[in-house]
Structure 1
């Protein structure tokens, strides 16, 4: 089935905006300028300013929210479910988690390579799965537990690649270790945010607009979760390739292995192996499947009625 122009637009928007978001922040981190009064040069290290810029972009979504609300109020469609009354303070705990996690993320980006930064963000799968079991009472499938284990293995390999790679003047070994740990901490806080939103916000039929992830949610809705995962992986590859091309980091072959294992863990956790197994099953047993269709779905006269 061919994609529509709107679906192509969403996919391109997710890939381009996600890549620009990370690359532009790292580009700013690489700026060097003289200090006040002719003091020595220093790098741009203002992660909290970058976080404020991100939240200003999210805050601008309120304008779109009120426009959609006015449009909905002018329609007489009774099939649209009205929002339940809710306390605005419900947004405070997840908003604080979002602010803390985003700030830690930009701090980590100052200290580590952009490719490792992008790959280590896959740790959110681990903590989201564990917290959903502990606080939401969910039961994970065996494939999801296997995906969590694969993600842990991939994170270890990516972290090991950081330790073994040659460090430059900007990223010292101690800074890289600290940055990697900050990324993991940020994913813990983001996972807590997701649990809080699902437990206290979404049950009131409230759908807060957030700038980060809106195109991702739209891609999942319009296309599929598989497409979103592929686009996320392509975004990591684009960021990685541009970072190497701009000499922002040094390539280490262990990162390829870590990336592939992380990709496998994400696919297993999201259940993307089911359609693959179904396709393999149809490919391996086409004759048997055709025989079953003829035996069970045919219009032939039953044997005991032929006489």
Structure 2
């Protein structure tokens, strides 16, 4: 069935705002501005930018209440009052504290890694979250992983290795990148996926049972995340940053220096605000795509976002073309399709090349819904769960 104009608009919004989110964060890193020491330097403030990301998440809460008010107004204007589909907002808010802490740790670590490596690698390496989520869901949620999911995990690992190798083999002296810095950045991004996977498992176990509206869930995680990051960023201004210190004070973060650089180069406000606004619209579009279409469609669109980020990074250019990187990206996509049982395996089943298999409920992937056309009930159930968890994964 062809997509409606609304669905096409939502899909376009998700790809565009998702791409802007990563590109704006990297753009801020690339801008040179006079710092508090009077020197021209790159805007390297990953923890400061993490705060902006959480502000964007909090805007999702505002969007939720605006949509709620619009729905109530529409119902009042109807002659025949139809039953309300508004989800309840009565749930214990503290359930988001631990996921928000994981979100804070994961996002700040990824943003730190992004300052050391390429934006395209940042986006591709986030695919490692599927590997860690699959393994942690077996250990802590008692899920069973099917043979095609194990195959998908192996293929994803192969893709990650190829992407990492492409970074090392690429022109390391380009735009000030170094081999050690790129390796460190890539490892930080992959390590952050362990935390993100832990966050998703925690949400699966403690949050989803409360049937929290997805946008409201993102909003509350933004509130708690912003609070936690604000508390942490104060001592970060005094803790020696060691090899990660890239500000005049030599500390993990230097907030006064960040504002000073913004003051000397107002252009920095463009990518910073772009990060905040795009994360809000991206989460809104992502949740809407999952509702209007499916969680599987959202995964496919996110792959398009990764392709856009890579293409823009090469064209600007923030990096030079390295043939292994698109190869690794394609392998990553194949692995994700295998893990989530979409496109490849359904096609093989339709041709009779492999025998159809029934997937028990407790083996449903945590990341995305299965898209088998004969399993509509499983898709609906997985989409309900994915509405909340995928808002975190694909941010």
Question: How is 1:86-235 mapped onto 2 (pairs within 5 angstroms)?
Answer: 86-167=91-172, 168-209=174-215, 210=218, 211=280, 213-235=283-305
Provide closer, same or farther for how the CA distance between residues 80 and 217 of structure 1 changes in structure 2, counting only shifts above 3 A.
closer
CA-to-partner distance for each residue in 1:129-178, whole Å, 9 max, x for gaps?
11111111111111011101111111111111111111124211111111
Q: In structure 1, what is the Cα distance between the partners aligned to 2:38 and 2:7? A: 52
Once the two structures are TM-superposed, the CA of residue 213 in structure 1 deviates from its matched residue by 3.6
CA-to-partner distance for each residue in 1:65-116, whole Å, 9 max, x for gaps?
3345556778665575864853211110001111111111111111101111
Match of residue 250, structure 1, among 306, 311, 320 = 320
Once the two structures are TM-superposed, the CA of residue 253 in structure 1 deviates from its matched residue by 1.2
Q: Which moved more, 1:42-51 or 1:206-215?
A: 206-215
Q: In structure 2, what is the Cα distance between the partners aligned to 1:221 and 1:61? A: 16
Match of residue 280, structure 1, among 327, 351, 354 = 351
Q: In structure 2, what is the Cα distance between the partners aligned to 1:54 and 1:170? A: 26
Once the two structures are TM-superposed, the CA of residue 266 in structure 1 deviates from its matched residue by 0.5
Q: Is the 8 A contact 2:109 2:189 kept in 1?
A: yes
Q: In structure 1, what is the Cα distance between the partners aligned to 2:340 and 2:119? A: 25
Q: In structure 2, what is the Cα distance between the partners aligned to 1:205 and 1:128? A: 21
Q: In structure 2, what is the Cα distance between the partners aligned to 1:142 and 1:247? A: 41
> Residue 3 of structure 1 corresponds to which residue in structure 2?
3
Q: Is the 8 A contact 2:68 2:86 kept in 1?
A: no
SS in 1 for 2:126: helix
Q: In structure 2, what is the Cα distance between the partners aligned to 1:124 and 1:199? A: 17
TM-score by length of 1: 0.84
Q: Is the 8 A contact 1:119 1:236 kept in 2?
A: yes
Q: In structure 2, what is the Cα distance between the partners aligned to 1:82 and 1:13? A: 24
Unaligned runs of 5+ in 2: 76-80, 219-279, 354-395
Count of aligned pairs:
281
TM-score by length of 2: 0.66
Q: Is the 8 A contact 2:31 2:43 kept in 1?
A: yes
Once the two structures are TM-superposed, the CA of residue 221 in structure 1 deviates from its matched residue by 2.9
CA RMSD of superposed structures (Å): 2.2
User: Max radius of gyration: which structure?
Assistant: 1
SS in 2 for 1:86: coil
> Residue 28 of structure 2 corresponds to which residue in structure 1?
28
Provide closer, same or farther for how the CA distance between residues 135 and 214 of structure 1 changes in structure 2, counting only shifts above 3 A.
farther
SS in 2 for 1:42: strand
Q: Is the 8 A contact 1:124 1:187 kept in 2?
A: yes
Q: In structure 2, what is the Cα distance between the partners aligned to 1:278 and 1:217? A: 30
Q: In structure 1, what is the Cα distance between the partners aligned to 2:61 and 2:46? A: 24
User: Given the alignment of the two structures, is residue 63 of structure 1 paired with residue 68 of structure 2, yes or no?
Assistant: no
Q: In structure 2, what is the Cα distance between the partners aligned to 1:239 and 1:201? A: 32
Q: Is the 8 A contact 1:159 1:180 kept in 2?
A: yes
CA-to-partner distance for each residue in 1:261-282, whole Å, 9 max, x for gaps?
1011000111103332244349
Q: In structure 2, what is the Cα distance between the partners aligned to 1:96 and 1:281? A: 47
Provide closer, same or farther for how the CA distance between residues 233 and 37 of structure 1 changes in structure 2, counting only shifts above 3 A.
closer
